Amino acid sequence: MSIDNLNQVYKVKFSIPFIINFNLYNIQLFNIHFDEYQSESQFSNQAKEIVHQLCELGYCKQRSDGVWEATIPSQYNSLPRDACFIIQKSDGTTLYITRLVKETLLNYNNNIL
């Protein structure tokens, strides 16, 4: 291992605890409390429901390479055309955006309804 690599490891090793402690300090300073912690990976399986629902609504299609792609019509985005984005890979795994949509819907329904 070179001296430069050693310096990088040293910086990372000692900067991460500082960042964590700084964030904890800010959380305490502003009296922030969390009811629960959610990670995006807990929505992996549930996100497939979003793919299914988007397909039922006509906003999703499967490409020839097996990837599922959703479309946001131009009237609902800032582009002068429809916007397309990938929501599920050809191997069936969902992407972060799909899990985020599922999490947002759950949080919305839990807090609003």
Same domain membership, residue 80 and residue 51: yes
Order across the sheet with 83-88: list the strands: 60-62, 68-72, 83-88
Which is more confidently placed, 111 or 16? 111
Assess whether pLDDT exceeds 70 at residue 77.
yes
The predicted model scores a pTM of: 0.57
Same domain membership, residue 56 and residue 24: no
pLDDT of 1 reads: 54
Structural domain that includes position 18: 1-33
CA proximity to 54, closest of 89, 87, 95: 87
Whether the CB-CB separation of 95 and 89 falls below 8 Å is answered with: yes
Split into its structural domains, the chain has a count of 2
Could you identify the residue written with the tokens 């690599």? Answer: 5
Same domain membership, residue 63 and residue 104: yes
pLDDT of 103 reads: 81
Same domain membership, residue 29 and residue 50: no
Which is more confidently placed, 32 or 104? 104
Same domain membership, residue 57 and residue 18: no
Same domain membership, residue 100 and residue 47: yes
CA–CA gap between residue 22 and residue 11 (Å, rounded)? 16
Q: What is the DSSP string of 44-106?
A: HHHHHHHHHHHHHTT-EEE-TTS-EEEEE-GGGSSSSS-EEEEEE-TTSPBPHHHHHHHHHHH
Assess whether pLDDT exceeds 60 at residue 6.
no
pLDDT of 13 reads: 55
Assign 56 a pLDDT band (cuts: 50, 70, 90): very high
Give me the percent of the chain exceeding a pLDDT of 70. Answer: 67
Same domain membership, residue 47 and residue 26: no
Same domain membership, residue 61 and residue 22: no
